[in-house]
């Protein structure tokens, strides 16, 4: 860690022309991010946008980081990502579609159940695209899957009889996740629609096992496509906030906690290697509880 931070410091001194105060802040934010990544059994060489969003949630919800500090943190990590690419350490850029929030706007912590229902109800069950999108939302929000997990979801991972998913998550760790009747129902409709259109010659024949593919090319969704697609869906239903696959996964966990699930069960369902990561959701729940209390109790 110290070696890459030393190289990064040399880079920003030479390229960005920052003041000593800003330079120190950037180094502090990047170091904090690297420590967070180590707790998730990953590093700067392979972290994903999910890890980045989890870090932001952690700093805002648990560390009570202020909005202006969050903006600085995002800018620091963007410059760190640019450094990694310049040095040839990474070729991809998981922060490519991350926008910097304007000051005065809170970073959304969780999307509500009502907002998810609004998104689902806006999708008809007549077209292949709408069925696919409904399926995507149901598997992320209904089973708490990571974006990488939903993109690699295949039919052989689902036990339709017991209604469980077998997911291979980070570090190739397997976990069992239940699926609902509604998820199975919409998946069956989506699969039937695909077969119907293939038999009519309207889309190319697809014989692969992956569930979520581009019907015109048969290629799996990219993380960038999924990010932009969810962003497009929420815009259509008038939700003026950033909602990502990670936000929906976050909502899955928060709903479980609000309805009485214990942290150990939530940890297992999410596939967290550390309970510390799961404990973030207790802070979200407490924060919401305080807001409800302050809004509704006459003595608050």
Enumerate the active-site residues: 146, 170, 246, 249, 272, 281
Say if residues 67 and 104 touch (Cβ distance below 8 Å): yes
Task: Spell out a b/e string for 210-222, using b for 16 or more CB atoms within 10 Å of the CB, else e.
Answer: ebbbebeeeeebe
Give the DSSP per-residue string, 90-117: -S--TTTTPPPPPTTSPPP----HHHHH
How many CB atoms are closer than 10 A to CB 106?
10
Distance (Å, rounded) from C-alpha 181 to C-alpha 163?
8
What pairing do the DSSP bridges indicate for beta strands 164-168 and 158-159? antiparallel
Say if residues 285 and 258 touch (Cβ distance below 8 Å): yes
Q: Is 205 left (phi over 0), alpha (psi -120 to 50) or beta?
A: beta
Distance (Å, rounded) from C-alpha 84 to C-alpha 5?
11
Q: What are the beta bridge partners of residue 174?
A: 168
CA 262 to chain centre: 22
Distance (Å, rounded) from C-alpha 65 to C-alpha 74?
12
Residue 174 burial (10 A CB sphere; 0-12, 13-18, 19+): exposed
């Amino acid at each position: 860690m110290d070696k890459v931070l030393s190289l990064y410091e040399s880079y920003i001194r030479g390229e960005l022309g920052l003041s000593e105060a800003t330079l120190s802040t950037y180094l502090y934010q990047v170091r904090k991010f690297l420590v967070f990544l180590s707790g998730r059994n990953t590093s700067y060489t392979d972290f994903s946008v999910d890890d980045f969003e989890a870090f932001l949630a952690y700093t805002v919800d648990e560390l009570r980081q202020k909005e202006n500090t969050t903006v600085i943190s995002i800018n620091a990590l963007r410059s760190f990502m640019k450094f990694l690419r310049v040095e040839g350490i990474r070729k991809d850029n998981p922060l490519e579609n991350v926008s910097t929030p304007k000051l005065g706007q809170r970073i959304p912590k969780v999307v509500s159940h009502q907002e998810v229902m609004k998104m689902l109800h806006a999708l008809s069950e007549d077209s292949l695209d709408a069925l696919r999108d409904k399926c995507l939302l149901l598997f992320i929000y209904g089973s708490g899957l990571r974006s990488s997990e939903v993109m690699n979801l295949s039919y052989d991972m689902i036990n339709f009889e017991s209604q469980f998913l077998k997911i291979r998550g980070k570090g190739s760790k397997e976990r069992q996740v239940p699926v609902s009747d509604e998820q199975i129902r919409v998946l069956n409709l989506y699969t039937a629609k695909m077969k119907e259109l293939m038999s009519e010659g309207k889309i190319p024949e697809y014989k692969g096992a992956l569930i979520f593919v581009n019907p015109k090319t048969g290629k799996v969704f990219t993380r960038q496509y999924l990010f932009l697609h969810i962003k497009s869906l929420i815009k259509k239903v008038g939700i003026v906030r950033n909602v990502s696959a990670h936000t929906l996964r976050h909502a899955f966990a928060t709903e479980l906690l609000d309805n009485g699930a214990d942290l150990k069960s939530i940890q297992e369902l999410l596939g967290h290697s550390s309970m510390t990561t799961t404990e973030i959701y207790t802070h979200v729940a407490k924060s919401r509880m305080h807001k409800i209390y302050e809004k509704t109790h006459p003595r608050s």
